[in-house]
Structure formats: structure tokens, C-alpha cells
Amino acid sequence: MDAIEREWYRRRASSITPVAHFFGILSIILLLVWLLHYRGGLGLDSDNPYRILNVHIFLMFFGFIFFAGQAMMVHKSINAEARMQKLTHMLMHVIAITLGIIGVYAAFKYHYKANVTNMYSLHSWIGLGTFIVYGIQWFFGFVTFWLPRPGATRARLAPWHVCFGRALLYFAICTAETGLMQLFTILKLASSSEGRLINFTGLAILIFGISVDLVIALSHYY
């Protein structure tokens, strides 16, 4: 591939990065409008179990999916030396894992408060599985790419690391979409303004995930 082709791919990746940022931020705004206006707000220590559930909903996107996506795009978002980009990439994943742990805790706490069975839905199966594998993926990346390792070893394992990262992003998006659909059905929100807001939120989250993946895919060609 010549320099002109590499520059073409670089420009395309750079042009999609702001799109990903836009839909990520839009998703956060729509979530906050929904949870604060329609669902009574957020409160991890609240006596109202639904406010605890709202913490789970918000943190699993803002804390987990959004920061994970930012970590994946960090090489396009931050103009710095490779070591600093790698450090930022790792720390953003740490933030995603930390806030994700709180989000998962909120889900189990909600189930306890509302007397709901744990791990009964496809949403919960995919979600917890994704989160556990995400933690394993982070540990694998830390050991392989942050600690001293032969260059040949890193080069051999890098495609697998990237592939699993992209797959986990889509698993996380799938978890978010099934969670929104589950709530949509339970709350019986068809033909309501709240239901339409949930649908638009789901679309924004999906486009965010696709945009992030496009940036990562294009980055391999330059």
C-alpha cells in the first residue's frame, strides 16, 4: 500500500472519530433525559429500587461502553507519543471496568430490593459474560503490551487483542440494546414519548458502537 492510500484511510478514520464522539455524547444526554425526567433520577443508596436500577443503566453505558469506546479510539483522539497513548488507553479501560463494577453491583442490588431473580434474562447472561471477558482482555493487554515483552510476541498477539476488543464492543452494545428492549417491554411503553426516547437512545448507542469500530477497522490500513 502506497503513501496516498494510507493517507486516504487516515483521513477517513479521522473524519469518523468526531461522529463517534457525537453519538456517544448524544447517548449520554438522552439517557440522562430519560432517567431524570421519566424515571425519577439516580440513587445507589435510595430506598426506591428503580432509582438504583437507573444507576445501573447509566453507568453501564457512560461508565463502561462509552469509556471503552474512547479507549479504543485513543490513538485517533490524542496526539501524543505512543507510550502516552498506550497509558491513556489502559487507564480509560480501568475507568470503564471500575464504573462497570459499580453498575453491575447496582443491578444486583436492584434485584435484591425489588425481589427479582438474578441472571434470568438473555440481557444479564450476555452482559455479565461480556464484563468478565472484558476484564480478562484488559489483563491480557496489560501483561502483553505494557510490561516488557519481545516485539515479535506483541506483533503476533496484537491482532487477537484487537479482534477480541472489537467483538467485546459489539457484545456490550448488544447487551445495552437487549436491556433497553427488556425495559421497553416490561414498562409497556409502546406509542409513548418515553418509548420513542428509548428507541432513539438505542439507535444512538448502536451508531456510536459502529462508528468506533469503523475507526478501529480503518486504522489498520495506514
CATH number, domain at 29? 1.20.120.1770
Q: What is the pLDDT of residue 1?
A: 64
Domain, as residue range, for 53: 3-219
Assess whether pLDDT exceeds 80 at residue 166: yes
Distance linking the first and last C-alpha atoms of the chain: 8
Assess whether pLDDT exceeds 90 at residue 2: no
Number of domains in the chain: 1
Answer whether 122's CB lies under 8 Å from 178's CB: yes
Q: What is the pLDDT of residue 45?
A: 96
| b/e per residue 180-214 (b: at least 16 CB within 10 A) | beebbeeeebeeeeebebbeebbebbbbbbbbbbb
Answer whether 55's CB lies under 8 Å from 103's CB: yes
From residue 117, give the alpha-carbon distance in Å to each of 121, 186, 191: 9, 15, 29
Between 83-87, 99-103, 110-114, 136-140, the lowest mean confidence (pLDDT) is in 83-87
Q: What is the pLDDT of residue 14?
A: 85
Answer whether 52's CB lies under 8 Å from 44's CB: yes
State the maximum Cα–Cα separation within the chain, in Å, rounded to a whole number: 62
Confidence of residue 79 (pLDDT cuts 50, 70, 90): confident
Q: Cα(28)–Cα(219) distance, rounded to whole angstroms?
A: 26
Q: pLDDT, tens digit, for every residue of 24-72?
A: 999 999 999 999 999 999 999 999 999 999 999 999 999 999 999 999 9
What's the pTM?
A: 0.94
Q: What is the pLDDT of residue 7?
A: 76
Q: What is the pLDDT of residue 221?
A: 64
